[in-house]
């Protein structure tokens, strides 16, 4: 890595240097880009570090017309002998001074590339006590510097929750979340359990198996982050139950050989919902139904009183309430009829069944039991909800969240809250569970608001991802102390208020980010955003059946 | 900060400070050549009977012979009045003078040649203050002031504005600096027929020097006196009349003129399309060359050489400082660059005035 000078600070009457910003001209042959970090000499033999935000090429031309005139009044073929005086001016944000001097930089100060140690100090990484590797930055002069999150701000207690936004199809959002979770397991595994929801494909359904095609370049990228290029350990998979004996009694689209291995080694279970435990969770099944008069809510209060030992029996009892001329508390028959229609439709799924005492091949386990058994520090639980329709995904997701939250509060009998450690939950398509504008009455959104607003102190941490931040509830996003920005569209940049205060060049960068590149915002960083790269996955990604 | 005029006063020279006034507002810039002698005979070999010559286009792959470009500049200020014999008041003129040279590299990029770029601060006192006193002032100023100054004397003359005399003395200092730099460049063997130096302005140095060192130097004037006459007798014509007939890429024949016993060949070249200019003289430059060899002095400057120089000057027309400089149409960019370099190297008006 070179540390040669690349330019000089320029302070003018109209564009002075300030405590927080500096401009410098760049040597003709130097290549600089936004997010590069440079250092400039300052008072008392100190150095100030700054992150480049924008670049402009200026000439002494007074206007476009001057350039037109300089081409022999519009002769396209004219070849001017003289090159016009011009230079590139970089605008940079001051990050740090080695002697904590906050005076503006002086005109003419030499600017050079920052060294790796300087970059870490400038970003505030040198003071992190519990680092969680989060990727690396690569500057234009070839410097590669590992970037860490501070565990205290990622997993609590100082700050918590992470959100990742970016368009689909670049294999970036999920890959980054899983890389970060792997990093959490390697660095904070003794203190954190991880729950991952698989919402599409089969990519996350063999995360404990090494990738047979892992090459040296990917290994080197992991090692650059200070991590072993190893898959997750202590993983258990929960698949949706189905009456499919040939498919291990699951709806999952995972590869059959992968499933065979997981079931035979006791790492996989099929979750289901029996009527007794599910009737209290039915509000989650109808999270997406508008209930302006709160009639559904009134019905939900009645449901636990119904005695039923099977789903058929339960549905029969509901059907009884739809007959004309009856009155059940404050709920009108019309409301019961609507509820009956919805219930019949939404519980016509193999997931709603009773436990089989005689057939262990079904590998049935309720979400509650699975969490009681496996939720402990160091453990990873993958919940496959990909084959389920949206409303069932909300039910399962909400059930997991409620169970964890209840366990943390000591409301779950079989789980000792003190033994749980931190629980990190990763959910893609967060906009589905906590959509923007959904206020009170929506059970699942309410649960997520609870988690993001109070989970930090309890140790329930949400890693959420979605395509568009503008589609997610503001309070859920607002409670995330760490935010990750992947490539997004110009429309989203204009639509979401979160991008409003980014410098224009950063907005432009976000719209053009290549695969494997992200912008990070974390409370410990001394700047709003940094651009990082991260390693490709090192676990096996099944193709799906 | 120690004020320079207070240092002068402490030495016993009574000096009344005034608010420093910038004296560089040139009200009649186009008449700067008004002192030049009229040109009389055609001075071109072989002699030409045609008043205007059309220049053939240069192939684009021929490297230019115009390699160095020199500009001298000055800023002058009236900073106070020195009182002589308790009765006479003479202005003290301060100034910043500088000369800059830019070179065109083999890659066609222009860059300053620091070795030949000099700036100095000067203070011009009337000759009513003795040389010994000035020497004392110079020693004290350079010891105590953070900015060094060179002290000059201007000769007070009856019927002449002493402010003009002081400014002229500083101008003369600038010309001396220009001559010195050309001589240094020639001594370093940097100049040749393939590496010509272009000086901004006319070659009117009122000093004696070895002309051989100026053999590969040409002067380029952006402005000139339109009523100035060329030729004699019935063929006498004003520059305004001749140049207004020049078409784009045409030059006049060379005319002979002289300065302090130095013979000069002078011609005009139009470097912009006249139909696109707002005034008849816009886009015309005046070029000058010393006649150095005895044969040149006798028969005039070689017409082919003049054509060649003119063609390369014509090539310099782009890019232009259009809208940045009122003289853009007659400016060539390398000179503009030298001028920009020099002016941005001067201390700001605010800083300089604060020294007094």
Instruction: Give the pLDDT confidence score for residue A197 in this predicted structure.
Output: 94
B340 touches chain A (CB under 8 A): yes
Does residue B1 sit in the same domain as residue B135?
yes
Quickly tell me which residue has 């200019």 as its tokens.
Answer: B277
B111 touches chain A (CB under 8 A): no
Closest by CA position to A168, among listed A488, A431, A480? A488
Does residue B208 sit in the same domain as residue B179?
no
Full residue range of the structural domain in which residue B292 is found: 32-65+193-317
Does residue B146 sit in the same domain as residue B46?
no
A413: Cβ contacts below 8 Å, ≥ 6 apart: none
B257 touches chain A (CB under 8 A): no
**Residue from the list B318, B323, B340 with its beta carbon closest to the beta carbon of A65:** B323
B110 touches chain A (CB under 8 A): yes
Q: How far is A46 from chain B (nearest CA, A)?
A: 26
**Residue from the list A62, A82, A83 with its beta carbon closest to the beta carbon of B322:** A62
Total domains in chain B come to: 2
Q: Which residues numbered 264-303 in B keep a CB inside 8 Å of some CB on A?
A: 273, 276
Confidence of residue A138 (pLDDT cuts 50, 70, 90): very high
Instruction: Give the pLDDT confidence score for residue B35 in this predicted structure.
Output: 52
Does residue B13 sit in the same domain as residue B152?
yes
* B336 domain-assigned: no
Look at B276 and A84 and tell me if their CB atoms are within 8 Å. no
B229 touches chain A (CB under 8 A): no
Instruction: Give the pLDDT confidence score for residue B292 in this predicted structure.
Output: 94
Residue of A nearest to B60 (CA): A79
Look at B320 and A83 and tell me if their CB atoms are within 8 Å. no
Which chain B residues touch A85 with a CB distance below 8 Å?
337, 340
Mean pLDDT over each residue of chain A, to the nearest integer: 91
Spans of chain B, pLDDT less than 50: 26-34
Closest by CA position to A237, among listed A203, A267, A272? A267
Closest by CA position to A163, among listed A147, A180, A150? A180
* B254 domain-assigned: yes
pTM above 0.90, yes or no: no
Does residue B61 sit in the same domain as residue B3?
no
Query: Between β-strands B301-302 and B44-45, what pairing exists: parallel, antiparallel or unpaired?
Result: parallel
Does residue B13 sit in the same domain as residue B103?
yes
Does residue B20 sit in the same domain as residue B53?
no
Closest by CA position to B228, among listed B241, B244, B213, B209? B241
pLDDT digit string (tens) for A159-177? 999 999 998 776 689 999 9
Q: How far is B46 from chain A (nearest CA, A)?
A: 31
Query: Phi and psi at residue A122, in whole multiples of 5°?
Result: -65, -35
Number of CB pairs, chain A paired with chain B, less than 8 A apart: 56
Name the maximum alpha-carbon separation found in chain A: 97
Residue of B nearest to A59 (CA): B321
* B325 domain-assigned: no
Strands (DSSP E) found in A364-471: 380-384, 422-427, 460-466
Q: How far is B334 from chain A (nearest CA, A)?
A: 8
pLDDT digit string (tens) for A258-271? 999 999 999 999 99
Instruction: Give the pLDDT confidence score for residue B29 in this predicted structure.
Output: 41
Query: Phi and psi at residue A231, in whole multiples of 5°?
Result: -70, 180
Instruction: At A164, list the tokens.
Output: 């990742």
Answer whether residue A371 shows pLDDT above 70: yes
Task: Report how far residue A439's alpha carbon sits from residue A445's, in angstroms, rounded to the nearest whole number.
Answer: 8
* B117 domain-assigned: yes
Query: Phi and psi at residue A189, in whole multiples of 5°?
Result: -60, -30
Strands (DSSP E) found in A443-529: 460-466, 482-485, 517-521
For residues A472-482, give the mean pLDDT.
93
* B332 domain-assigned: no
Does residue B213 sit in the same domain as residue B170?
no
Does residue B107 sit in the same domain as residue B248?
no
* B338 domain-assigned: no
The domain A145-272+355-533 having CATH identifier 3.40.50.300: the answer here is: yes
Does residue B237 sit in the same domain as residue B213?
yes
For residues A252-258, give the mean pLDDT.
94
Instruction: Give the pLDDT confidence score for residue B191 in this predicted structure.
Output: 97
* B109 domain-assigned: yes
Closest by CA position to A208, among listed A240, A237, A175, A183? A237
B345 touches chain A (CB under 8 A): no
DSSP state of A209: S
pLDDT digit string (tens) for B228-286? 777 777 777 887 888 888 999 999 999 898 888 899 999 999 999 999 999 888 999 99
Look at B334 and A82 and tell me if their CB atoms are within 8 Å. yes
* B181 domain-assigned: yes
pLDDT digit string (tens) for A311-369? 999 999 999 888 877 666 777 888 889 999 999 999 999 999 999 888 889 999 999 99
Percentage of chain A with pLDDT > 90?
68
B258: Cβ contacts below 8 Å, ≥ 6 apart: B37, B264
Min mean pLDDT across A214-228, A287-301, B60-74, B308-322 is at A287-301
ipTM above 0.85 for this complex: no
End-to-end alpha-carbon separation of chain A, Å?
Answer: 47
Confidence of residue A149 (pLDDT cuts 50, 70, 90): very high
Instruction: Give the pLDDT confidence score for residue B34 in this predicted structure.
Output: 44
Does residue B258 sit in the same domain as residue B203?
yes
**Residue from the list A62, A65, A72 with its beta carbon closest to the beta carbon of B318:** A72
- The residue among A498 and A484 whose pLDDT is bigger is A484
Does residue B15 sit in the same domain as residue B149?
yes
Look at B273 and A73 and tell me if their CB atoms are within 8 Å. yes
Task: Report how far residue A432's alpha carbon sits from residue A444's, in angstroms, rounded to the nearest whole number.
Answer: 10
Task: Report how far residue B79's alpha carbon sits from residue B23's, in angstroms, rounded to the nearest whole number.
Answer: 10
**Residue from the list B60, B64, B318 with its beta carbon closest to the beta carbon of A70:** B318
List Cα–Cα distances, A105 to A7, A11, A27, A159, B4, in angstroms. Answer: 14, 8, 18, 33, 30
Look at B60 and A85 and tell me if their CB atoms are within 8 Å. no
Instruction: Give the pLDDT confidence score for residue A1 in this predicted structure.
Output: 44
Question: Any idea where the domains of chain A sit in the sequence?
Answer: 5-114, 145-272+355-533, 276-346
Min mean pLDDT across A294-303, A402-411, B95-104 is at A294-303
């Amino acid at each position: 890595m070179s540390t040669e000078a690349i330019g000089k600070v320029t302070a003018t009457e109209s564009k002075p240097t300030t405590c927080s910003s500096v401009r410098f001209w760049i040597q003709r042959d130097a290549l600089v880009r936004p997010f590069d970090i440079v250092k400039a000499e300052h008072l008392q033999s100190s150095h100030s570090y700054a992150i480049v935000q924008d670049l402009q090429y200026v000439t002494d031309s007074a206007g476009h017309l001057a350039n037109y005139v300089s081409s022999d009044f519009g002769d396209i073929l004219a070849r001017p002998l003289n090159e016009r005086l011009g230079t590139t001016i970089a605008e940079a944000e001051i990050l740090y001074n080695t002697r904590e001097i906050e005076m503006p930089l002086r005109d003419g100060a030499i600017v050079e590339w920052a060294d790796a140690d300087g970059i870490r100090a400038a970003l505030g990484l040198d003071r992190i006590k519990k680092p969680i590797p989060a990727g690396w930055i690569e500057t234009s002069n070839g410097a590669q510097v590992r970037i860490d999150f501070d565990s205290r701000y990622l997993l609590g207690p100082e700050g918590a929750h992470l959100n990742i936004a970016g368009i689909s199809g670049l294999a970036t959002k999920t890959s980054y979340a899983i890389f970060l979770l792997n990093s959490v397991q390697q660095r904070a595994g003794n203190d954190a359990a991880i729950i991952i929801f698989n919402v599409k494909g089969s990519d996350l359904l063999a995360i404990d198996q090494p990738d047979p095609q892992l090459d040296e370049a990917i290994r080197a990228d992991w090692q650059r982050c200070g991590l072993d290029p190893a898959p997750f350990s202590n993983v258990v998979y929960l698949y949706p139950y189905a009456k499919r004996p040939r498919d291990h009694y699951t709806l999952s689209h995972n590869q059959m050989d992968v499933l065979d291995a997981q079931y035979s080694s006791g790492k996989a279970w099929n979750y289901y919902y029996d009527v007794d435990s599910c009737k209290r969770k039915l509000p989650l099944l109808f999270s997406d139904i508008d209930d302006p008069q709160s009639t559904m809510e009134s019905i939900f209060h009645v449901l636990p009183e119904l005695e039923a030992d099977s789903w058929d029996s339960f549905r029969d009892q509901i059907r009884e309430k739809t007959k004309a001329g009856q009155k059940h508390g404050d709920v009108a028959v019309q409301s019961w009829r609507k509820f009956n229609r919805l219930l019949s439709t939404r519980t016509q799924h193999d997931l709603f069944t009773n436990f089989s005492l005689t057939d262990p091949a079904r590998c049935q386990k309720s979400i509650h039991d699975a969490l009681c058994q496996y939720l402990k520090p160091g453990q990873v639980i993958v919940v496959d909800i990909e084959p389920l329709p949206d409303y069932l995904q909300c039910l399962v997701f909400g059930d997991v969240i409620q169970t964890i939250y209840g366990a943390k509060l000591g409301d779950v009998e079989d789980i000792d809250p003190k033994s749980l450690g931190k629980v990190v939950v990763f959910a893609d398509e967060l906009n589905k569970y906590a959509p923007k504008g959904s206020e009170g009455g929506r059970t699942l959104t309410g649960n997520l608001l609870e988690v993001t607003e109070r989970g930090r102190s309890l140790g329930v941490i949400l890693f959420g991802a979605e395509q568009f931040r503008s589609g997610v509830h503001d309070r859920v996003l607002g409670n995330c102390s760490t935010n990750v920005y992947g490539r997004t569209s110009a429309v989203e940049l204009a639509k979401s208020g979160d991008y409003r205060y980014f410098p224009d060049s950063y907005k432009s960068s976000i719209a053009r980010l290549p695969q494997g590149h992200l912008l990070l915002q974390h409370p410990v960083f001394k700047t709003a955003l940094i651009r990082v790269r991260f390693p490709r996955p090192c676990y096996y990604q099944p193709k799906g059946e | 900060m120690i004020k320079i005029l207070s240092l002068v006063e402490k030495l016993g020279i009574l000096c009344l400070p005034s608010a420093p006034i910038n004296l560089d507002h040139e009200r009649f810039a186009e008449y700067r050549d008004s002192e030049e002698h009229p040109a009389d005979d055609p001075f071109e070999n072989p002699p030409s009977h045609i008043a205007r010559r059309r220049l053939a286009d240069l192939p684009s792959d021929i490297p230019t012979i115009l390699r160095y470009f020199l500009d001298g500049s000055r800023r002058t200020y009236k900073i106070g009045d020195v009182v002589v014999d308790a009765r006479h008041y003479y202005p003290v003129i301060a100034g910043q003078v500088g000369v800059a040279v830019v070179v065109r590299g083999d890659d066609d990029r222009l860059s300053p040649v620091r070795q030949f770029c000099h700036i100095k601060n000067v203070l011009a006192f009337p000759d009513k203050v003795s040389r010994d006193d000035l020497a004392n002032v110079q020693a004290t100023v350079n010891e105590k002031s953070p900015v060094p100054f060179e002290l000059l004397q201007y000769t007070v003359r009856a019927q002449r504005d002493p402010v003009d005399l002081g400014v002229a003395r500083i101008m003369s200092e600038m010309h001396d600096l220009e001559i010195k730099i050309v001589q240094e460049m020639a001594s370093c063997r940097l100049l040749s027929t393939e590496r010509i130096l272009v000086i901004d302005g006319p070659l009117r140095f009122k000093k004696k020097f070895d002309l051989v060192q100026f053999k590969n130097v040409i002067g380029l004037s952006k402005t000139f006196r339109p009523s100035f006459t060329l030729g004699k007798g019935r063929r006498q014509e004003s520059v305004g009349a001749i140049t207004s007939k020049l078409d784009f890429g045409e030059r006049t024949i060379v005319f002979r003129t002289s300065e302090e016993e130095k013979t000069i060949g002078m011609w005009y070249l139009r470097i912009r399309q006249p139909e696109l200019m707002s005034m008849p003289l816009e886009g015309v430059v005046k070029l000058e060359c010393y006649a150095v060899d005895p044969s040149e002095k006798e028969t005039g400057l070689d017409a082919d050489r003049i054509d060649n120089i003119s063609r390369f000057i014509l090539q310099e027309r782009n890019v232009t400082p259009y809208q940045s400089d009122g003289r853009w149409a007659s400016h060539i960019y390398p000179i503009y660059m030298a001028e920009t370099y020099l002016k941005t190297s001067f201390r700001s008006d605010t800083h300089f005035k604060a020294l007094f």
